[in-house]
């Protein structure tokens, strides 16, 4: 078991673990700004006190290594996927996502539909009236 997941009243010899929820919130809130790299999330928390407070950090901000270790643990154990599925289920229960006859397709990725990562698309503007149908 990783030190990140020990209860707050128990930790083995060594450094005191960081609380789970503030680090988790930092990654989840950073996804709204399409920040997926550990370094970007860490810099967002470190440089923006309001963002850090929204995440729940009340004491010293964890180091970059703590953020990287947290992300590695979450990715290795497929916990990011489980967290996103829980968010989808919660949103379905709250009526944010409407389902039709028990079938719903929800894209939990941060990339816009029909977009290629790190590639810009040219837009073409037509002058005049064109009927493309």
pLDDT for 95 equals 84
- Closest Cα partner for 57 from 39, 45, 73? 45
Written as six digits, the tokens of 57 are: 């950090």
CA–CA gap between residue 41 and residue 27 (Å, rounded): 6
What does the pLDDT read at residue 1? Answer: 46
Torsion of CA 7, 12, 18, 21, to 10 degrees: -20
CA–CA separation, 97 vs 117, rounded Å?
25
Tokens of 51: 């963002």
Structure tokens at 62: 């964890």
Given a contact cutoff of 8 angstroms between Cβ atoms, the answer to whether 20 and 29 are in contact is no
Q: In b/e form, how buried is each residue of 107-119, taking b as 16+ CB within 10 angstroms?
A: eeeeeeeeeeeee
Q: What is the pLDDT along the chain (133 residues), one digit of tens a residue?
A: 455 555 555 555 667 777 788 888 887 766 655 556 788 889 888 999 998 898 898 888 999 999 999 888 888 898 888 888 888 888 888 888 777 766 666 666 555 555 556 666 656 555 655 454 4
Residue 20: the pLDDT is 80
Residue 19 near residue 4 (C-beta atoms within 8 A): no
């Amino acid at each position: 078991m990783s030190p990140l997941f020990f209860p707050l009243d128990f930790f083995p010899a060594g450094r005191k673990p960081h609380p789970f929820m503030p680090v988790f919130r930092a990654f989840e809130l950073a996804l709204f700004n399409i920040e997926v790299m550990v370094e970007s999330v860490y810099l967002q928390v470190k440089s923006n006190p309001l963002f850090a407070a929204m995440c729940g950090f009340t004491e010293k901000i964890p180091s970059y290594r703590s953020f990287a270790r947290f992300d590695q643990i979450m990715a290795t154990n497929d916990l990011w996927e489980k967290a996103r599925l829980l968010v989808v289920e919660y949103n379905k229960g709250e009526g944010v996502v409407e389902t039709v006859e028990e079938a719903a397709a929800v894209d939990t990725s941060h990339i816009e539909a029909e977009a290629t990562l790190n590639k810009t698309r040219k837009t073409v503007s037509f002058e005049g009236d064109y009927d493309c149908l």
